[in-house]
Chain A
Amino acid sequence: MTTNNNIGLTLYGVAGSPATNNKAGFEALTFVQLKGTQSLPVFGVTHNNIDVSDLGTGFTSGVKGAATGKDTTLTFHGDGTDTGIATAILAANAQSGVYSLKIVRGSGTDGGDGPAPVAGDVVQYAHGYLHTYEENPKDDSSFEGASINFKQNAATVDDVEPS
C-alpha cells in the first residue's frame, strides 16, 4: 500500500448532472478545470440511524437508514475570472446550482495548473449542487479568493480517465 500526499490533485466541473450516476454518464460530460483550488470537496455519503427499541430486552438497537450526500467546501485563490471557477460561482449563485465535479490524480504534463489527466489516471465523480459562495475577508492579512460549498446528491463514482 502506498500513501500519497494530496499535492497534484486537480478539480474539474460542469454545470449539469449526468443522466445516469455511473461511469458512462460522467464520461459523457465535458469537464473544465477549476484552476487555483486550495482544498477540494470531500465526496461521500452518510447514513441515518433508525432507533428500534424493545421493551422486553430494554435495549435500543439501530438499523441503517437512508443515505445523504456530504456537504463540503472547496476553496480557491484568485479573482474568480478563471473559466472553470467562473462557472462554479455562477452555479453557486443560481437558483438550482446543479453541478458535477471530478477530482483527478493526474500524471500528465503540468502546464502550470497541476498535472493533466491522462488515460488510466484515477478519477472520482460526484454530482449535486453548488451553493454559498463566500469571498475571503477583505483585510490586510487575507488573499484574494473564495469558498463554495458542494452538496452531493448521489453516490460517488470511482473511475479512471478514459482513453
Chain B
Amino acid sequence: MDQENQNLSQKELYDLKHQEKERQTKANHRKSSTKRILIWLVALLTLGGAIFGMVKLAGNAPSNSTGPVDAVSATDWARGNKDSKAILIEYSDFQCPACGFYFPIVKKLTEDYQDKLVFVSRNFPLQQHANARPAAYAAEAAGKQGKYWEMHDLVFNNQSQWSGAPNAKEIFTDYAKSLNLNLEQFTNEAGSNAIKDRVDNDYQSGIRAGVNSTPTFFLNGKQIKPTNYDEFRNLIEQAIKANP
C-alpha cells in the first residue's frame, strides 16, 4: 500500500515536472514571439511616423517664396481683381523679344478684364539675356517703393532701348528717376541679395512648373499658348465661365 502510494506520487511528480517544463517552453515561445512582434511594431511605427511627419513638413511652403502656378501667392506682383476666379500667370524675361511682343496684349487684357481677371508676373530671366536680370532687379526694386508695375511697363515699352546696351543699369536708374523713386534706395535694393533671392525664387518656381522658355502663360494652373489677343480672350472667357 505504502509503496503503491509512493509509486503513484513519483509518477505524479514526473507528470507534474513534465507539465511544468512544457508550460515553460510554451511561455518562452510566447515571450519570444511577443518580443518579435514588439520589435517590428516599433520599426513600423517609427517608419510610419517618419514618413507622415516628413510629408506634412514638406507640405509647408516657406512664406517668402512664390507659390504654384494655379494660385496667387502673397509675394506675387498681381494686377486686376485678386479675388477673381481667372488667374493668369506669366513667367517672363524682360529682355526676351517674344515677351515684349506679348506685353501690350496682356496689358490690354488686364485692362479689359480688370474685374474678372488677375494677372501675375513672375521672373524667369534666361541666361542668354545679359540684361534680363538687371531689368528684373530694377522692377523688383521699384516694387519696394510701390511702383513695380510702373517700372514693369516702362522697361517693356522701351525694351529695344536697353536690350543691347552695355549701360542698361544706368538706363534703369534713369527710369527710376522718371518715376520719382528714391534713387539711393533704388540702387541699393536693386543690388541686394533679398531682391536677387526673390528673382531666384520666381525662377525656381518656374522650373518646378516645367517652364523652359519665355513667355510661358498659365491660366488657372494650365499652360496656354495663345498667339494673339483674340485667342487669349477666348481662353479667359472659357475660364471665367468654367468658374462662375
Q: Are the chains A and B members of one assembly?
A: no
Residues of A participating in the B interface, judged by any CB pair closer than 8 Å = none
Residues of B participating in the A interface, judged by any CB pair closer than 8 Å = none
